[in-house]
Structure 1
Amino acid sequence: MSQGDKSKYTDKQKRQAEHIEESYEKRGLSEPEAERRAWATVNKQDGGGKKGGSGHD
Protein backbone atom coordinates (compact mmCIF):
# COMPACT_ATOMS: atom_id res chain seq x y z
CA MET A 1 0.00 0.00 0.00
CA SER A 2 1.31 3.45 -0.90
CA GLN A 3 2.64 5.69 1.79
CA GLY A 4 2.07 9.42 1.63
CA ASP A 5 0.27 11.68 -0.82
CA LYS A 6 1.55 11.31 -4.38
CA SER A 7 -0.77 13.99 -5.83
CA LYS A 8 1.98 16.63 -5.66
CA TYR A 9 4.11 14.75 -8.19
CA THR A 10 4.09 15.39 -11.92
CA ASP A 11 2.93 12.72 -14.35
CA LYS A 12 6.55 12.35 -15.48
CA GLN A 13 7.71 11.70 -11.91
CA LYS A 14 4.94 9.13 -11.41
CA ARG A 15 5.94 7.33 -14.62
CA GLN A 16 9.60 7.36 -13.59
CA ALA A 17 8.74 5.87 -10.20
CA GLU A 18 6.66 3.14 -11.86
CA HIS A 19 9.50 2.16 -14.19
CA ILE A 20 12.03 2.18 -11.37
CA GLU A 21 9.71 0.09 -9.19
CA GLU A 22 9.26 -2.49 -11.97
CA SER A 23 13.03 -2.71 -12.36
CA TYR A 24 13.52 -3.36 -8.64
CA GLU A 25 10.79 -6.01 -8.67
CA LYS A 26 12.51 -7.79 -11.57
CA ARG A 27 15.63 -7.92 -9.41
CA GLY A 28 13.68 -9.76 -6.71
CA LEU A 29 12.69 -7.04 -4.25
CA SER A 30 9.27 -7.15 -2.63
CA GLU A 31 6.65 -4.77 -4.01
CA PRO A 32 6.58 -2.48 -0.94
CA GLU A 33 10.38 -2.21 -0.83
CA ALA A 34 10.57 -1.64 -4.58
CA GLU A 35 7.99 1.15 -4.34
CA ARG A 36 9.79 2.76 -1.40
CA ARG A 37 13.11 2.75 -3.23
CA ALA A 38 11.53 4.00 -6.46
CA TRP A 39 10.02 7.07 -4.78
CA ALA A 40 13.25 7.68 -2.86
CA THR A 41 15.09 7.70 -6.19
CA VAL A 42 12.59 10.13 -7.77
CA ASN A 43 12.87 12.40 -4.72
CA LYS A 44 16.67 12.31 -4.86
CA GLN A 45 16.69 13.16 -8.57
CA ASP A 46 14.04 15.87 -8.54
CA GLY A 47 13.93 17.06 -4.94
CA GLY A 48 10.33 16.00 -4.32
CA GLY A 49 6.99 16.96 -5.82
CA LYS A 50 5.88 19.89 -7.95
CA LYS A 51 7.58 23.18 -7.30
CA GLY A 52 5.58 26.32 -6.91
CA GLY A 53 5.42 29.63 -5.16
CA SER A 54 6.79 33.03 -5.93
CA GLY A 55 10.19 32.96 -7.56
CA HIS A 56 11.35 29.64 -6.17
CA ASP A 57 12.72 26.95 -8.48
Structure 2
Amino acid sequence: MPKEWTGKQERQYEHIKESAEERGEGTKRAKEIAARTVNKNRAQSGQSKTASRSSVKDKSPQQRGGQRSGSKGPKGPTRDQLYNEAKKRNIKGRSTMTKSQLAKALGKA
Protein backbone atom coordinates (compact mmCIF):
# COMPACT_ATOMS: atom_id res chain seq x y z
CA MET A 1 0.00 0.00 0.00
CA PRO A 2 1.23 3.50 -0.74
CA LYS A 3 2.78 5.29 2.24
CA GLU A 4 0.45 8.27 1.61
CA TRP A 5 -2.60 6.23 2.69
CA THR A 6 -3.92 6.71 6.21
CA GLY A 7 -4.70 3.81 8.51
CA LYS A 8 -8.39 4.19 7.75
CA GLN A 9 -7.73 4.04 4.00
CA GLU A 10 -5.62 0.90 4.45
CA ARG A 11 -8.44 -0.75 6.43
CA GLN A 12 -10.93 0.30 3.75
CA TYR A 13 -8.66 -1.19 1.06
CA GLU A 14 -8.45 -4.52 2.91
CA HIS A 15 -12.22 -4.62 3.46
CA ILE A 16 -13.02 -3.89 -0.20
CA LYS A 17 -10.40 -6.42 -1.38
CA GLU A 18 -11.81 -9.17 0.86
CA SER A 19 -15.38 -8.41 -0.24
CA ALA A 20 -14.41 -8.61 -3.91
CA GLU A 21 -12.65 -11.92 -3.35
CA GLU A 22 -15.72 -13.31 -1.57
CA ARG A 23 -17.81 -12.31 -4.61
CA GLY A 24 -15.52 -14.48 -6.76
CA GLU A 25 -13.09 -11.92 -8.16
CA GLY A 26 -9.49 -13.02 -8.55
CA THR A 27 -6.89 -11.67 -6.13
CA LYS A 28 -5.35 -9.35 -8.73
CA ARG A 29 -8.74 -7.92 -9.78
CA ALA A 30 -9.84 -7.54 -6.14
CA LYS A 31 -6.69 -5.54 -5.37
CA GLU A 32 -7.32 -3.32 -8.40
CA ILE A 33 -10.94 -2.62 -7.41
CA ALA A 34 -9.92 -1.78 -3.84
CA ALA A 35 -7.04 0.49 -4.87
CA ARG A 36 -9.16 2.35 -7.42
CA THR A 37 -11.89 2.94 -4.84
CA VAL A 38 -9.50 4.25 -2.19
CA ASN A 39 -7.61 6.40 -4.70
CA LYS A 40 -10.83 7.92 -6.05
CA ASN A 41 -11.89 8.83 -2.50
CA ARG A 42 -8.46 10.37 -1.91
CA ALA A 43 -8.77 12.40 -5.14
CA GLN A 44 -12.22 13.68 -4.17
CA SER A 45 -10.98 14.82 -0.77
CA GLY A 46 -7.95 16.59 -2.33
CA GLN A 47 -5.32 14.22 -0.92
CA SER A 48 -3.74 13.20 -4.23
CA LYS A 49 -1.35 15.27 -6.32
CA THR A 50 -3.01 14.37 -9.63
CA ALA A 51 -6.64 13.49 -10.21
CA SER A 52 -8.75 13.09 -13.31
CA ARG A 53 -11.76 15.35 -13.78
CA SER A 54 -14.08 12.35 -13.61
CA SER A 55 -12.61 11.27 -10.26
CA VAL A 56 -13.21 14.68 -8.72
CA LYS A 57 -16.59 15.59 -10.24
CA ASP A 58 -18.31 12.18 -10.19
CA LYS A 59 -20.19 10.49 -7.32
CA SER A 60 -18.05 8.60 -4.83
CA PRO A 61 -17.92 4.82 -5.31
CA GLN A 62 -19.93 4.40 -2.09
CA GLN A 63 -22.73 6.68 -3.31
CA ARG A 64 -22.79 5.08 -6.73
CA GLY A 65 -23.16 1.60 -5.28
CA GLY A 66 -22.45 -0.25 -8.52
CA GLN A 67 -24.96 1.85 -10.48
CA ARG A 68 -22.93 1.83 -13.65
CA SER A 69 -21.27 -1.49 -12.98
CA GLY A 70 -21.92 -3.76 -15.94
CA SER A 71 -24.86 -1.80 -17.32
CA LYS A 72 -24.36 -3.39 -20.74
CA GLY A 73 -24.41 -7.07 -21.53
CA PRO A 74 -25.62 -9.99 -19.44
CA LYS A 75 -26.63 -9.43 -15.83
CA GLY A 76 -25.89 -11.53 -12.79
CA PRO A 77 -22.71 -13.14 -11.55
CA THR A 78 -19.79 -13.70 -13.88
CA ARG A 79 -18.77 -17.13 -15.11
CA ASP A 80 -15.76 -17.03 -12.77
CA GLN A 81 -18.00 -16.25 -9.80
CA LEU A 82 -20.32 -19.12 -10.73
CA TYR A 83 -17.31 -21.40 -11.25
CA ASN A 84 -15.94 -20.56 -7.79
CA GLU A 85 -19.30 -21.32 -6.20
CA ALA A 86 -19.50 -24.61 -8.13
CA LYS A 87 -16.00 -25.45 -6.91
CA LYS A 88 -17.08 -24.83 -3.30
CA ARG A 89 -20.09 -27.11 -3.84
CA ASN A 90 -17.86 -29.72 -5.55
CA ILE A 91 -19.95 -29.89 -8.75
CA LYS A 92 -18.45 -32.35 -11.24
CA GLY A 93 -17.57 -31.20 -14.78
CA ARG A 94 -17.57 -27.52 -13.84
CA SER A 95 -14.37 -26.71 -15.73
CA THR A 96 -15.96 -27.41 -19.11
CA MET A 97 -19.32 -25.75 -18.36
CA THR A 98 -20.47 -22.47 -19.87
CA LYS A 99 -21.86 -19.64 -17.77
CA SER A 100 -25.46 -20.73 -18.37
CA GLN A 101 -24.64 -24.37 -17.62
CA LEU A 102 -22.96 -23.36 -14.35
CA ALA A 103 -25.96 -21.23 -13.40
CA LYS A 104 -28.29 -24.14 -14.12
CA ALA A 105 -26.14 -26.59 -12.12
CA LEU A 106 -26.17 -24.16 -9.19
CA GLY A 107 -29.93 -23.69 -9.47
CA LYS A 108 -29.67 -20.02 -10.47
CA ALA A 109 -31.14 -20.26 -13.96
On whether the aligned pair clears a TM of 0.5, the verdict is: yes
Q: Gaps spanning 5+ residues in structure 2: where?
A: 48-109
**Partner letter of residue 41 of structure 2?**
Q
Map 1:1-57 to 2 at 5 A.
6-47=2-43, 51=47
Higher gyration radius (CA): 2
State the number of aligned residues. Answer: 46
Q: Describe the superposition over 1:14-53 as per-residue Cα deviations: whole angstroms up to 9, x where unpaired.
A: 00000000000000000111001101001112218xx4xx
Return the alpha-carbon distance in structure 2 between the equivalents of residues 8 and 45 of structure 1: 13
Q: Gaps spanning 5+ residues in structure 1: where?
A: 52-57
Q: TM-score, normalised by structure 2?
A: 0.38
Could you list the structure 1 runs, at least 4 aligned residues long, displaced by more than 4 angstroms after superposition: none
Return the alpha-carbon distance in structure 2 between the equivalents of residues 22 and 43 of structure 1: 17
Query: Looking at both structures, which has the greater relative contact order when contacts are Cα pairs under 8 Å and sequence separation is at least 6?
Result: 1
